Structure 1
Amino acid sequence: MTFARALATSLLLLVFATPSAHARDLQMVTAQTKAAAGGAALDRLNAIRLTYRLRQAGLEGTGTTLTDVMTGRTVTRFKLGPMSGAEGFDGRRTWFQDTAGIVTVPEGGDRRAQAVSAQYRNALAYWYPARTGPARIGFRIQLFRSRIKEALEVAPQGGLPFELWFDAQTKMLDRVIEVGATETRTTSYEDYRPTGGLLIAHRIRSSNAAAAFGTERVVTKVELNPVVADADFAVPPPPKPDFAFGRGARKSVQPFRFVNNHIYVDVKLNGRPFALLLDTGASNVITPTVARALRLRPVGDARVWGSGDASEAAAFARIDTVATGNVRFRNQLFAVVPLESLSEIEGVPFHGMIGYELFKRLVAKIDYDAHTVTLSDPAAWAPDGVGVPIPFVFNGTVPEIEGAIDGIEAAFDIDTGSRMSVGLYGPFVLRHGLRGRFTPSIETVTGWGLGGPSRGTVARVRRVRLGTIAINDVVVDMSRQTQGVLSHTAPSGSIGSGLLKRFRVTFDYPHQRIYLAPAARTHERDAYDRSGLWINQARGGFQVVDVVERSPAALAGLREGDTITAVDGAAASSMSLGIVRDRLRDGAPGTEIRLTILRERHIQVVALRLRDLF
């Protein structure tokens, strides 16, 4: 940019910053952009249906979107590779329908605010403000790729703020930018063509910060003022069950293995047995190793995020039969994600996860003491004597409950895939100054999952409230992640199996209730590692990945990169990673543990004495 252009742009910004100019120019921009898009023809528009070719995640398909511009109601239906589904807004609720026809109404996180802002845009309320609730609108000039954009900064009451960028020359909508709790999404509009007196964008691209998440719609047909009915936008009815219990049963009880505060259940995929992580925070996932064993042909090229900073590639495949315990599911969609490296973190072969798709169909009771999962047909189940009910809303596909932490109101995702008791997301921690409030504390690796390791500040809090249930003396992880799930601005955090294992937990997704019943560990003090080590499985033993400063491990001289080859004289090869981690966590303060370590080809023995770290 030349100095003259920079100076001219600065002067423009100064001019538009004056209050009187702001009102005049905002009115002028809205009038000019409406006239360019169709003017009087827009006044006659009641509804519009777009049919298009769809490209997303390396897949191709088709879709249709019907919008009632008088109310902002909308419905989209699509087919994309092995997937199909729908999503809509009925004027009050947003809903989505997955590839099996199962419907979810998400109201957690910032979903309600998203719906308010989407309704505002769908109703063209920046031109017709009486169609929706009020909004504050600001205006500025934006230079973008050597072109001037006239940007409206819109903040609907109860919605997410967003920006509408209009090209200063053509006056046509160029892009919409919205910053949400989980991502910043940009939708651009191109290739405008005349249709019935209107100019309609025939190429619409949506993306967030990662290009692999992008969606492209190429419009092939435009229908103006189609007849619409309430039923077009209504939440669809539930589909016919795609599962069955064997031998006339209505429930199934099966054991699970509890490793690193994670639940592993045996699942047969097309008749072959695999151990899958039971995770309320995830959808169905298998590794490429499993896909090859089943001779599947995954398609697509997407990216998925987890708790760490990095993302992973993902493809998709269908599995004909999925059986766990006495329940069999038909024709299930799985993401295929390269998560084999989690075997080193878990200490057991990692084959994948099963979550939302199971919980949405069945009532699931997890008995952490007995190490059993009971799956029940919702039609034959009653909540008699199963514990205290806690209502939840869906944050996407994850249950979210209301609660508090040391008196601070909070909202928590319930995530059986998290090993921690309570994980607090970075923005919530910063907003309430929790690192200064919750002391003493330590800085350490607190987890390891999709996206790599996650770091945080770990401390104890006096009380955590989940619904009406209060739990005292709880360990919390205050995330320091700047990417991934733990950096989201909503909800406040998550509740993991570290805390859930104190109860018998029943998930009733059909009625959006979680029930907590007392168990053997309900009143136990929350335990946390007493060594200051994070160790992973490695060739020849356990690799030291992180050492907490001034911890027993640090005082004993352990370093990152050391390999533990024996524990109290027993070869590491004869012990599981989970057992060693449990020993370092649950061993009584004052217990001495002797570790044989390999460092730069030299063997040495060190002794550490366990103690509480905070």
Structure 2
Amino acid sequence: MRKLLLGFGLALGLAAASAAAAAQGYSPAAQKVLTRARLAAGGGAWNSLRGWHEAGRLGATPYETWLDPLRYGMRVETREADGLHVHGFNGGGDWRIAPSGQATGADIRGVISQTRTDAFFDIRGYFYPGRFDARGEYVGVRSFQGRSFDVVMVKPWAAEPRELWFDRRSHLLARMVDRTGPRPVAQQFSDYRKVGGVRIAFRIWTEGPSGTPVAVRQIESVTFGPVDRNLFSLPRRNAEAEAAPAPAR
């Protein structure tokens, strides 16, 4: 009886996920691929994430990133030669703080669209069809470097579409392709490790013209836990200073 109830509960859960996905615009074929990918990467463990903090290097540059898997929220700090750069996004406002302390906000649709795109795919928003408004279509089976992939095109609301290439053996995300520019830009995902109950790619790199890695992002640590939403908004003091009129001369 217990097994029967568990099976019934699982069936209901999958039906609810499929209904939520359909409401958000994922085709049945796309959702089938994404469901397999989510199971391979930890399944229900993704539901327990309340915050995401990672640290690593972008090439030789140290960085830290905070993400909110419950709703849009992203903060990236990079320590470059001229000092600390901070970039934040709270779902509506996109802002930056330069090493000098000068704060700037952006309402330019193209800028926010790109930031929303990064925030969605970094948090694996396609694993949460009921949380983030997005559409997805199954593109088909594709081959690359002797491997076979199921490809799904996902477009978050007010953001840019990406092709997600899932390895047909492991069902893990192996490539992501951006076709919005003058030429396709592809990233590869590898070095998957288990953190808590989920599996995450610790190495992400952009393919060069010959498929060689450039712009390598190497994650060194990932921790999960509740995140302070204030991290994602421009600090009030900086925002007020930016909005204040210049003093009379």
Would you call these one fold, judging by a TM-score over 0.5? yes
1:378 match: 246
Cα deviation code 1:517-571 (max 9, x no counterpart) = xxxxxxxxxxxxxxxxxxxxxxxxxxxxxxxxxxxxxxxxxxxxxxxxxxxxxxx
1:235 match: 234
Secondary structure, aligned partner of 2:106: coil
Question: Once the 2 structures are TM-superposed, how far is the Cα of residue 105 of structure 1 from its aligned partner?
Answer: 2.5
How many corresponding residue pairs?
220
Question: Once the 2 structures are TM-superposed, how far is the Cα of residue 66 of structure 1 from its aligned partner?
Answer: 0.8
Q: Would you say 1:36 and 2:35 are equivalent positions? A: no
Counterpart Cα distance in 1 of 2:74 and 2:162: 19
Question: Once the 2 structures are TM-superposed, how far is the Cα of residue 42 of structure 1 from its aligned partner?
Answer: 1.0
2:57 aligned to which of 45, 53, 58: 53
2:23 match: none
CA distance 1:224–1:150, shift in 2 (3 Å):
same
Structure 2 stretches lacking a partner, 5+ long: 1-25
Amino acid at match of 1:35: L
Task: Identify the structure with bigger relative contact order (alpha carbons < 8 Å, sequence gap 6+).
Answer: 2
Counterpart Cα distance in 1 of 2:53 and 2:183: 28
Question: Once the 2 structures are TM-superposed, how far is the Cα of residue 175 of structure 1 from its aligned partner?
Answer: 2.2
Secondary structure, aligned partner of 1:132: coil
2:87 match: 87
2:148 match: 148
Counterpart Cα distance in 2 of 1:207 and 1:90: 30
Q: Would you say 1:98 and 2:102 are equivalent positions? A: no
2:128 match: 128
Counterpart Cα distance in 2 of 1:196 and 1:88: 26
Amino acid at match of 1:232: L
Counterpart Cα distance in 2 of 1:221 and 1:78: 15
1:27 match: 31
Cα deviation code 1:233-281 (max 9, x no counterpart) = 1124439x9xxxxxxxxxxxxxxxxxxxxxxxxxxxxxxxxxxxxxxxx
Counterpart Cα distance in 1 of 2:207 and 2:94: 20
Counterpart Cα distance in 2 of 1:84 and 1:182: 31
Question: Once the 2 structures are TM-superposed, how far is the Cα of residue 114 of structure 1 from its aligned partner?
Answer: 2.0
2:217 match: 217
2:14 match: none
Secondary structure, aligned partner of 1:380: coil
Question: Once the 2 structures are TM-superposed, how far is the Cα of residue 36 of structure 1 from its aligned partner?
Answer: 0.6
- 1:101-500 superposed matches below 5 A: 101-108=101-108, 110-180=110-180, 184-206=184-206, 214-225=214-225, 227-236=226-235, 237-238=237-238, 378-380=246-248
Counterpart Cα distance in 2 of 1:76 and 1:209: 28
- 1:513-528 superposed matches below 5 A: none
Amino acid at match of 2:202: H
Equivalent residues of 2:41, 2:198 under 8 A apart: yes
Question: Once the 2 structures are TM-superposed, how far is the Cα of residue 180 of structure 1 from its aligned partner?
Answer: 4.0
Equivalent residues of 2:45, 2:197 under 8 A apart: yes
Counterpart Cα distance in 2 of 1:63 and 1:156: 25
Equivalent residues of 1:85, 1:101 under 8 A apart: no
Counterpart Cα distance in 2 of 1:159 and 1:171: 25
Instruction: Report the RMSD for the aligned CA atoms in angstroms.
Output: 3.2
Equivalent residues of 2:50, 2:227 under 8 A apart: no
Structure 1 stretches lacking a partner, 5+ long: 1-21, 242-359, 361-376, 382-614
Amino acid at match of 2:51: A
CA distance 1:183–1:99, shift in 2 (3 Å):
farther
2:21 match: none
Secondary structure, aligned partner of 2:125: coil
Counterpart Cα distance in 1 of 2:181 and 2:82: 29
Amino acid at match of 2:248: A
Counterpart Cα distance in 2 of 1:183 and 1:99: 33
Greater helix percent: which structure?
2
Counterpart Cα distance in 1 of 2:83 and 2:207: 19
Secondary structure, aligned partner of 1:148: strand
Equivalent residues of 1:184, 1:209 under 8 A apart: no
Counterpart Cα distance in 1 of 2:181 and 2:110: 6
Counterpart Cα distance in 2 of 1:99 and 1:183: 33
Equivalent residues of 1:185, 1:209 under 8 A apart: no
Amino acid at match of 2:227: V
CA distance 1:209–1:161, shift in 2 (3 Å):
farther
Equivalent residues of 1:208, 1:214 under 8 A apart: yes
Counterpart Cα distance in 2 of 1:235 and 1:209: 38
Question: Once the 2 structures are TM-superposed, how far is the Cα of residue 181 of structure 1 from its aligned partner?
Answer: 5.3
Counterpart Cα distance in 1 of 2:39 and 2:215: 29
Question: Once the 2 structures are TM-superposed, how far is the Cα of residue 167 of structure 1 from its aligned partner?
Answer: 1.2
CA distance 1:83–1:208, shift in 2 (3 Å):
farther
Question: Once the 2 structures are TM-superposed, how far is the Cα of residue 214 of structure 1 from its aligned partner?
Answer: 4.3
Greater strand percent: which structure?
1
Equivalent residues of 1:151, 1:166 under 8 A apart: yes
Amino acid at match of 1:379: P
Q: Percent identity between the aligned chains?
A: 23
Cα deviation code 1:313-352 (max 9, x no counterpart) = xxxxxxxxxxxxxxxxxxxxxxxxxxxxxxxxxxxxxxxx
Equivalent residues of 2:30, 2:136 under 8 A apart: no
Cα deviation code 1:426-453 (max 9, x no counterpart) = xxxxxxxxxxxxxxxxxxxxxxxxxxxx
Counterpart Cα distance in 1 of 2:92 and 2:165: 27
Secondary structure, aligned partner of 1:115: helix
Equivalent residues of 1:137, 1:155 under 8 A apart: no
Question: Once the 2 structures are TM-superposed, how far is the Cα of residue 100 of structure 1 from its aligned partner?
Answer: 2.1
Cα deviation code 1:190-244 (max 9, x no counterpart) = 1011111211211122467799x9432222211112x3112111124439x9xxx
Equivalent residues of 2:136, 2:152 under 8 A apart: no
Question: Once the 2 structures are TM-superposed, how far is the Cα of residue 113 of structure 1 from its aligned partner?
Answer: 2.5
- TM-score of the pair, normalised by structure 2: 0.75
CA distance 1:194–1:232, shift in 2 (3 Å):
same
Question: Once the 2 structures are TM-superposed, how far is the Cα of residue 153 of structure 1 from its aligned partner?
Answer: 0.7
2:18 match: none
Secondary structure, aligned partner of 2:32: helix
